[in-house]
Structure formats: structure tokens, C-alpha cells
Amino acid sequence: MNLPRERLLTIRHRYLPVLKRLDALFGEMDRSYTAVAGQYGFACNGCADNCCLTRFYHHTLLEYLYLVEGLRSLDSDGRHAVFEKALTVSAAMNDADRQGRTLRIMCPLNRNDRCSLYPYRPMICRLHGIPHELHQSGGNPVKNPGCDSFFDQCRQHGQTNYIRFDRTPFYRHMAMLEKALRRETGYAHKIKFTIAQMLATFTDRTYEID
């Protein structure tokens, strides 16, 4: 499924206010995450099990268009490098899928262990790592442990008690903003994209997004 990139970019003025609200929400997520991670004494310093090697799917138009804003912040050489990498990663994933292989491959935005569009990274990249809970209406709360690196560090610090980190309000707020964005853009299709696939939607190699 292709995103109607050209059409979306022509109505940028209409959806920018929604992205501004997303910006504020991401700021809240980052502050909450940092506060709880700090209480554990956990710091994400990069590790062998790097989560940028994990194939995460992203499901919102919000995250796609926010990433596009990130691309606008790069110069044309920077964009070119990102798109080329994304096409390579995307093709490798497609090959692996066709052959039924599991493939752990670095996100095309990761350069020298740093995210090259860090302020524009999607939600899961902001929330991954520390234990969390999620409350679904009518169901029991789902609790998830942190990543392996979290366990190693917290064992070292002797901090093993759960510190409450509830993702529910963030997910709800995202859903509300996604609804507002869909209303503004008229875009109704489901989305399921990796970062590489999102970036690879710019496949005409003109790299013009202004």
C-alpha cells in the first residue's frame, strides 16, 4: 500500500497543527520516560541487543508525517543518504520475508549508534526499554518487563522493584490525535510500516519534499 505522498504534502498547512500537538505529546512521553528510567538508574547506552535492530511496525499516519518533517530538516545530501539506506534495508527485509528467514537489520536512521532523526523518532523508540503497564478497557492490565540491558543494569544497581510506568494515557492521546489527523487529511487506510518502508515511499529518487 502506497501513501499518497504528493497529496499529503500539498495539504501540509492543514495537518501541521496536529503535528504540533504530537510534538507536545512526545515531549511528555520523553519527560515521563526519563523520570522513571532515572529512578531505576537506567540509561540506554547502546547494547549488543540494540533495539534499532528490531523490526518494529508503526501504525499511525502521525508518525509517518512527523518523520517527513524530520526529513525536511536534513539537507539534500543527508536525505539522499537516508533514502539510499532505506531502500537497501527494505529490499533486504523483503528478500528475507520471501525466503521465510528472520532478519535483524539496523534501522536505516541509525548511524554510528545514533539515531540521525532522534527528535522525530516514532513512539516505540521513545518508550522501549523500561517495564510498563497497559490498561485495555474491559480487560486485565498487561504488564511487560524491560529490555535485557535494563535487567542487567538494574541488577547491578540492586533496583529490581517495579516503578509504575503506564503507557495507557499516551496510547489514548495518540489515538485521539490520529483521529484528528485522519479527519484533516481524509486518509482512511490502515498503516503498517517499518521505518525503512516509510522512508522507501520516497522511491522516485528526486528526494524533493518541499
Task: Supply the minimum distance, in Å, between the C-beta of residue 186 and ligand SF4.
Answer: 27
Sign of CA dihedral 104, 129, 72, 186: positive
Query: What is residue 166's DSSP assignment?
Result: B
Helix (H, G, I), strand (E, B) or coil at 140: coil
* Closer CB to ligand SF4, 102 or 206, in the complex: 102
Give CA–CA dist 28/30, Å, rounded. 5
Would you count residue 109 as binding ligand SF4 (CB under 6 A)?
yes
Task: Supply the minimum distance, in Å, between the C-beta of residue 132 and ligand SF4.
Answer: 17
Would you count residue 115 as binding ligand SF4 (CB under 6 A)?
yes
* Interacting residue with ligand SF4 among 71, 195, 198, 199 (CB under 6 A): 195
CA angle 23, 168, 148 (to 5 degrees): 90
Would you count residue 110 as binding ligand SF4 (CB under 6 A)?
yes
Task: Supply the minimum distance, in Å, between the C-beta of residue 118 and ligand SF4.
Answer: 6
Residue type at 125 in one-letter notation: C
Closest of 72, 70, 63, 69 to residue 178, by C-alpha: 63
Task: Supply the minimum distance, in Å, between the C-beta of residue 200 and ligand SF4.
Answer: 14
* Closer CB to ligand SF4, 11 or 53, in the complex: 53
116-135 positions binding ligand SF4, by CB under 6 A? 121, 125
Residue with cell 505529546: 25
Give CA–CA dist 41/21, Å, rounded. 30
- Residue 58 and residue 191 in contact, taking contact as beta carbons nearer than 8 Å: yes
* Closer CB to ligand SF4, 78 or 184, in the complex: 78
Would you count residue 88 as binding ligand SF4 (CB under 6 A)?
no
Residues that bind ligand SF4 (CB under 6 A): 52, 107, 109-110, 115, 121, 125, 195
